[in-house]
Chain A
């Protein structure tokens, strides 16, 4: 077969989204080749699958990360992990993914190949196939290389009822590991901030961790992944949704020394820095210790910790006991977290 794509030298051009031979080549020689599975092989505009009995969940997640490649991952793996995690936060087992690509004219095909390979690897490792997809090309200057939107569907095990409005005073608040690794890894590679660092993104699929957690503790009240806005945003969301307050302990927050150092340098608060492989679990107090053990036995939960508790508070404030012994608010992020100047 003659190859249509020149992956080594070529770039995305408008014809790759035009519906002609170039687009067919892109689909066949890149997307089909790496993401291959029985649903894609049917080559329909949709994927057909049997619907299991029970409650299903569906989640969608757009990815616009810059740079496209960063320590510990890239936009491809991130887009797979993102939707898998959103589905998993309902306690569900993710089943299928879809992927929509917006490609910018001029994107090197070699970069696109690297991204699709990484998606395929993430999808295979997670056991969740990408069963349908779409590609569009926009003119140069109208995109940022590539945007990927993924959607996931999953099945909730019987008896599991996890939702952000169920946090109850007395509940314990747990996290599965260190704060802020993803955000700091990204910032370290932004072109105008090229200080060297060994920090890698924590980007990971959390569904296997969630499965073991749900099995050990079916009465988990809330699960949420603290992505944009970090742990602070997630706790505030859950507090408001549930109509409760939260109290956390600064000295219990798991934090890598390098991340703490980078945040110090940049004037950032790790509580507000994004994560892509972390979850916050809110569970009845009496179940917390056992759940913590289960989490620590999982590779993605080795640094898990109980970081605080849910309290009664009509104002829905999140407060923190600081390392120095005082208390402070952990407020919603105001605008975008930007480095301070002095």
Chain B
């Protein structure tokens, strides 16, 4: 914690807020997107948005793996969990996320499905070994951060010839999603606060397309208040100077090349899906992973013939516009009325890292009784 405390220093944060306020050009509005849900969470958790000048608008991006997973995938997982003999394992965040009709894995568990929460896919291997008569399916989700552990588990399963283990792979990729956002008409983003942990895996250069093809700066950031303020300042400077580059504020964790071993492992175990349906963003080409042919034997989609159907979002839901920065959570009619963390209608409300959920949990007081 000693290492973290210096990045939470209130005096430092306030000094940086002052510096940012002095550097922004008063006659322009800066639209900055923090892609990663972890950053969204930190911005709200520490009330950082309030410390920024009003002409810096933070747009909360789609970097919450639970939020962007299409409802059809959740429906498929719920159906799979209900099959005889199946133990479905997944990360805790997934349990409460509603599929269509309000059903969730947590409700399915209450109704008798064997759904288990785990912290690491290696635990799934152990559970499979302890239950040789059952089929263990790991419902794998997440960006490039949770992908290498899934790959490790698959390699281990292959090595020991584990027959009753398979993976329902829903891993998604950050750079194609950023590209998908930039390619959409009317998108208002002047620069990206780039993901921290994801970048530790894929490296700085994975974002080179954003400055090159779209003239948008990217600053890779850590998750603490001082990190975020420093990254925002770096973005403002780039924008003011008319530069567009990938810069790295999080050098204590992220290297230019990233984790080459993890990248090699991912390349061996997975291949690109031609398209993937992102909740809120729609279909984006080559933006998600599936198991490569070498691991077909452990692919739950092939083993169980899983079909993912397209389920449209609720009509009142404005998630698509919120994820593209066109609207704020409070602009949505359903926000905090029909749509709440207890009863989420849309992608942005389903996990604590979603834009609407973070705003609901931490920022709801601002419009009502600002001190």
Contact B8 A324 (CB under 8 A): yes
**Chain B: CB-nearest residue to A260:** B1
Contact A341 B142 (CB under 8 A): yes
With A322-B47, A341-B91 as known contacts, state yes or no: A251 contacts B10, CB within 8 Å: yes
The digit string for B48-65, where 1 denotes a CB below 8 A from any CB of A, is 111100000000000001
Q: Which of A193, A326, A329 gathers most chain B CB within 10 Å? A: A326
C-alpha gap A261/B353 in the complex (Å): 20
With A324-B10, A325-B10, A328-B362 as known contacts, state yes or no: A339 contacts B369, CB within 8 Å: no
On chain B, the residues within 8 Å of A264 by CB distance are: 1, 4
On chain A, the residues within 8 Å of B93 by CB distance are: 338, 340-341
Question: Of A193, A313, A324, A341, which one neighbours B48 at CB under 8 angstroms?
Answer: A324
C-alpha gap A180/B114 in the complex (Å): 30
A319: interface (CB < 8 Å): yes
Q: Which of A247-277 contact B (CB under 8 A)?
A: 247, 251, 257, 260-261, 264, 269
C-alpha gap A328/B364 in the complex (Å): 8
The digit string for A185-209, where 1 denotes a CB below 8 A from any CB of B, is 0000000110000000000000000
Q: Which of A298-336 contact B (CB under 8 A)?
A: 313, 315, 317, 319, 321-329, 331, 334-335
On chain B, the residues within 8 Å of A324 by CB distance are: 8, 10, 13, 46-48, 51, 225
Q: Chain A interface mostly helix, strand, loop or mixed?
A: loop
C-alpha gap A86/B150 in the complex (Å): 45
**Chain A: CB-nearest residue to B369:** A313
C-alpha gap A257/B3 in the complex (Å): 11
Contact A326 B360 (CB under 8 A): no
B118: interface (CB < 8 Å): yes
B335: interface (CB < 8 Å): no
On chain A, the residues within 8 Å of B366 by CB distance are: 327
On chain B, the residues within 8 Å of A260 by CB distance are: 1
Question: Of B2, B50, B353, which one neighbours A326 at CB under 8 angstroms?
Answer: B50
Contact A341 B1 (CB under 8 A): no
C-alpha gap A322/B44 in the complex (Å): 10
Measured CB to CB, the closest approach of chain A to B283, in angstroms, equals 24
B324: interface (CB < 8 Å): no
Contact B342 A334 (CB under 8 A): yes
Q: How many residues of B contact A (CB 8 A)?
A: 50
Q: Which of B44, B95, B141, B369 gathers most chain A CB within 10 Å? A: B369
B368: interface (CB < 8 Å): yes
**Chain A: CB-nearest residue to B63:** A342
A73: interface (CB < 8 Å): no
Q: Which of B56-93 contact A (CB under 8 A)?
A: 65, 91-93
C-alpha gap A228/B342 in the complex (Å): 18
A164: interface (CB < 8 Å): no
Question: Of B9, B47, B142, which one neighbours A328 at CB under 8 angstroms?
Answer: B47
B31: interface (CB < 8 Å): no
Measured CB to CB, the closest approach of chain B to A333, in angstroms, equals 10
Measured CB to CB, the closest approach of chain B to A162, in angstroms, equals 28
A245: interface (CB < 8 Å): yes
Contact B369 A329 (CB under 8 A): no
Q: Which of B223-251 contact A (CB under 8 A)?
A: 225
Measured CB to CB, the closest approach of chain B to A71, in angstroms, equals 19
With A326-B46, A328-B46 as known contacts, state yes or no: A342 contacts B365, CB within 8 Å: no
C-alpha gap A92/B360 in the complex (Å): 38
**Chain B: CB-nearest residue to A255:** B1
Measured CB to CB, the closest approach of chain B to A330, in angstroms, equals 8
Contact B38 A342 (CB under 8 A): yes
With A192-B123, A323-B10, A338-B117 as known contacts, state yes or no: A328 contacts B44, CB within 8 Å: yes
A–B pairs, 10, beta carbons within 8 Å: A260-B1, A317-B369, A322-B45, A322-B46, A323-B8, A328-B47, A334-B361, A341-B142, A341-B146, A342-B145
User: A residues near B, CB below 8 A?
Assistant: 192-193, 245, 247, 251, 257, 260-261, 264, 269, 313, 315, 317, 319, 321-329, 331, 334-335, 338-342
